[in-house]
Structure 1
Amino acid sequence: MKKALLVGAVGCGKTTFRQRIFGQKQTYDKTQAIEFFDSLIDTPGEFTEHRRLYSALNVTANQADIIVMMQSVKDKRQIFSPGFSYMFYKPAVGVITKTDLAESKEDLDYIEKQLRLAGAEQIFAISSKTNQGVDTLIKYLE
């Protein structure tokens, strides 16, 4: 499996996705520091939300094969600045999370647009709660 760096805002579903991949019980577990696993690097949301912490993401990305930018369908903020992924010099994909909470197709389209502006080469839509799209993303990362 490619080593993936998970980046996104606080509460967007990075850790829940990690728990799903490794077959762990899904519980809310606030990531306080960068956590390294065999095939994933889970980062605190603050590292994405505060530009002064981008250098920590950039250094950590050296150990990854791919950048996975994650954004919840419920978060309408512009989490990633345009071209965000280009600072890593790695391939990047976008993941729309919590799709089970989408109220309309426009919700999904808005987040997809944000992720594409940030430099995502491909977009995945997942719900770790219902498992929708999770297997497709896992297969891609393999």
Structure 2
Amino acid sequence: MKKMMLIGRTDSGKTTLADVLQKGYSDARKTQSIERIGTVVDTPGEFVENRRLYRALLITSYDTDVVAMVMDATENHTLFPPNFAIAFNREVIGIVTKVDQDVSTDYAVSSLKKAGAEKVFIVSAVSGEGLEELKSYLACEGESC
């Protein structure tokens, strides 16, 4: 199983997603520090919201296989600048959360791709939409993936 680090704005659904992927349910809470939940590394939203804390994200990424930029489908602006992903020497994917809110995911998908996401997953931790595809991706190891 790939070890994944989640980065994104506060309240984008990172902790809920990590809980559901690893435990099957969520203990809704605010992440105060870098936290490991099974094979998922959850980071506080402040780490991507404040450029002074980017170093913590870069250092933490060294212990993971993949970095996931997380963006809430209801967001109307992004924190991820174009080509943000090149800062990481890991595979970088995008995850659009909260798609159960019945909103368009076009802006979020476009923003994540511009930021350098190699692949974008569209998920809902509430309805379960897209979680199996993400789990399959994380379970896949080797050249054939």
Q: TM-score range by the shorter chain?
A: over 0.9
Q: 1:134 aligns with which of 131, 134, 139?
A: 131
Instruction: Answer whether contact 2:8 2:70 (CA < 8 A) is retained.
Output: yes
Are residues 1:25 and 2:22 paired?
A: no
Instruction: Answer whether contact 1:94 1:123 (CA < 8 A) is retained.
Output: yes
1:24 shift after superposition: 4.8
What is the one-letter code of the residue matched to 2:66? Answer: I
TM-score by length of 2: 0.91
Q: How does 1:9-88 map to 2 (within 5 A)?
A: 9-88=9-88
Q: How does 1:86-101 map to 2 (within 5 A)?
A: 86-101=86-101
TM-score by length of 1: 0.93
1:25 shift after superposition: 3.5
* Aligned alpha-carbon RMSD (Å): 1.1
Counting matched residue pairs gives: 139
Give the % identical residues: 37
- Tell me the residue number matched to 2:105: 108
Structure 1: how far apart are the matches of 2:37 and 2:20? 13
1:27 shift after superposition: 3.3
Structure 2: how far apart are the matches of 1:66 and 1:19? 17
What is the one-letter code of the residue matched to 2:59? Answer: V
Are residues 1:2 and 2:2 paired?
A: yes
Shifted more, 32-41 versus 42-51: the winner is: 32-41
1:96 shift after superposition: 0.7
Segments of 5+ residues of structure 1 without an aligned counterpart are: none
What is the one-letter code of the residue matched to 1:139? Answer: S
